[in-house]
Chains A and B, each alone.
Chain A
Amino acid sequence: MGADAPRGARRRWVLLAITVAAVLAALTLKASLGDLVPQRGGAELVLRFFARALSPAFRHEGEVPEGTPSLFFSALAAMRRTLVFGVAAMSLALAGGVVLGFLGSSAWWSGARAGGGSAWSRFLYRAIAPSVWGAARVLIVGMRSVHELLWAVLFLAALGLNNVTAVVAIAIPYTGTLAKVFSEMIDEAPRDAAHALRAAGASHVQVFALGLLPRALPDMCAYAFYRFECAIRSSAVLGFFGFPTLGYSISASFENLHFGEVWTYLYALCVLVVGVELWSGALRRRFVA
């Protein structure tokens, strides 16, 4: 009873603070409900856009140069490029995420310190481990706190519009996110088997790879699949910057007011994401469950 009272009071203060923050934010932004009413013309455009939702285009709606493939094949090609960008970025991010995830996990380093080894290697661990761990954490935060669109802007300015730009722009924040989540999963994995293997004389790397990692692996795989879906969406969105993915086709059609084509490409994106979801679900059921 006595212990509950201050907790209740604190909860009230938190709720009050959140409310105050919301009101202040609304006032600062001069937000009003009136802004949600579309302008004249805008409403008509939106209506025309949604009117095509159930009747996507099956052929190009405007003039296209001679030799342009049919809309179906254009959409298919854009889907393929979206997938290729996503796969390329994800492969890089996965490799980087696994390495940084290990270096950023405290389980990796704590195991090393407890492990003994020669006096020289123990000194090495004591001197180097904290700085490597710290550097990995800083790197992870730096990579993931900048969004892939901002990385894309940066690389576009530096390198221009080439395919590597898009891949690297996606891969950097994804590496950071994967590394952060992987390191947490490794740290949260039960350590009983790891201790048992150490007790049976296994080396540090063996304990980590065979006692600890298998416990975290199912979660790590599930999360990597989820991030792969995200990478495909990111790859599509980067098309708005001119990379030849679905986003490029969508923005081009939208600017020409070819709303039927926009819907065709949007549905293509849905098919792609749902396809990956189904595929990863099947793999997960086979290997993880």
Chain B
Amino acid sequence: MPTHGSPASDGAFALELRRVSVAFDARAVLDAVDLACAPGEVVALVGPSGAGKTTLLRLWNAALAPTSGSVRVHGADLAERTPRELRELRSRIGFVHQDLALVPNLRVLQNVLHGALGRQSFLSAARTALFPAREEQERAAVLLERVGIGEKLFQRTDTLSGGQRQRVAIARALYQEPAALLCDEPVSSVDPARARDTVQLLTALAKERGFTLVVSLHDVRLAREFFPRLVGLRGGRVWFDRRNGDVRSSELDDLYSLERAELLADGS
């Protein structure tokens, strides 16, 4: 397995799936998937909708348990971790959701500070929510500056544009000081220019901070442009898993065109 980890990736998490299957109501969503990402590696997950990309990402932050197989993060099976260990692990795994999942009627600052909840007791979280310390505010401000919306710190989140809200969601994940960052279709709701900026930002951040980055993407061209390794997923199976340069364009076309053929077959 080729490794693309950067020198800064000492603390980054390795992410691994061993023969993992997931079924919802007897419908297989993932089927015996094997996949491994080295610490600090940057991977794009491509495939048509319904291929199982979201399900796959949700396994790694233990939002979902596999029907069979083993999900391993940082070298250990998630099923063998205690709830306390799982919470600690989750606090180190950032997740940027497709629908962003911010609290719209709170300030941007507050949403970013939510990133640290996994490391806080309830009382210290309440203290942060009501009276954020200067040091906390400064950390949030630095991160917002880094993602390009530094001036929005004290604005209400629902006054921001879609692209700006996306930056808030990324800043919240960064505030976790993640050892791995999982992004589920982070650019599905913004225009192509902004989508490109966002993907560029994510890959640059991964290089800069050394965390493991897995991004599910609809847009194959963005995956081609920014990611050293592409994993093609279709119908719950890994279709290909190779270095970017080794993936043929015809393979990418197949990923989607096969589905079209299936759709036609289903329709008849």
Q: Interface on A for B, CB 8 Å cutoff?
A: 116-118, 192-193, 195-203, 205-207, 209-211, 214-215, 217-218
Contacts and interface: CB of A to CB of B under 8 A. Distances in A.
A268 to B, nearest CB: 37
B114 A197 contact: yes
Question: What does DSSP make chain A's interface, helix, strand, loop or mixed?
Answer: helix
A200 B103 contact: no
A207 B114 CA distance: 10
B63 A199 contact: yes
Interface residues of B, number: 37
Contact of B83 (A116, A193, A202, A217): A116
Interface of B: 61, 63, 82-84, 86-95, 97, 99-106, 114-115, 117-120, 122, 125-126, 129, 172-173, 176
B101 A192 contact: yes
Contact of A196 (B84, B97, B104, B105): B97
Contacts of B114: 197, 200, 202, 210-211
Given A199-B95, A210-B114, A210-B129, 18 more contacts: A195-B97, A196-B97, A196-B101, A197-B117, A199-B93, A200-B90, A200-B172, A201-B89, A201-B91, A201-B92, A201-B117, A201-B119, A202-B117, A205-B122, A206-B117, A206-B122, A209-B129, A214-B106
B118 A201 contact: yes
Contact of B125 (A192, A210, A218): A210
Contacts of B82: 118
Contacts of A206: 117, 120, 122, 125
A203 B87 contact: yes
21 contacts: A116-B83, A118-B83, A193-B103, A195-B63, A196-B95, A196-B102, A199-B95, A200-B93, A200-B115, A200-B118, A201-B92, A201-B118, A201-B119, A201-B176, A203-B87, A203-B122, A206-B117, A209-B122, A210-B114, A211-B114, A214-B106
B99 A192 contact: yes
Nearest to B118: A201
Nearest to A205: B122
B109 to A, nearest CB: 13
A203 B126 CA distance: 12
Given A199-B61, A199-B95, A201-B87, A210 B103 contact: yes
A201 B101 contact: no
Contacts of A118: 82-84
B101 to A, nearest CB: 4
Nearest to A194: B101
Contacts of B172: 200
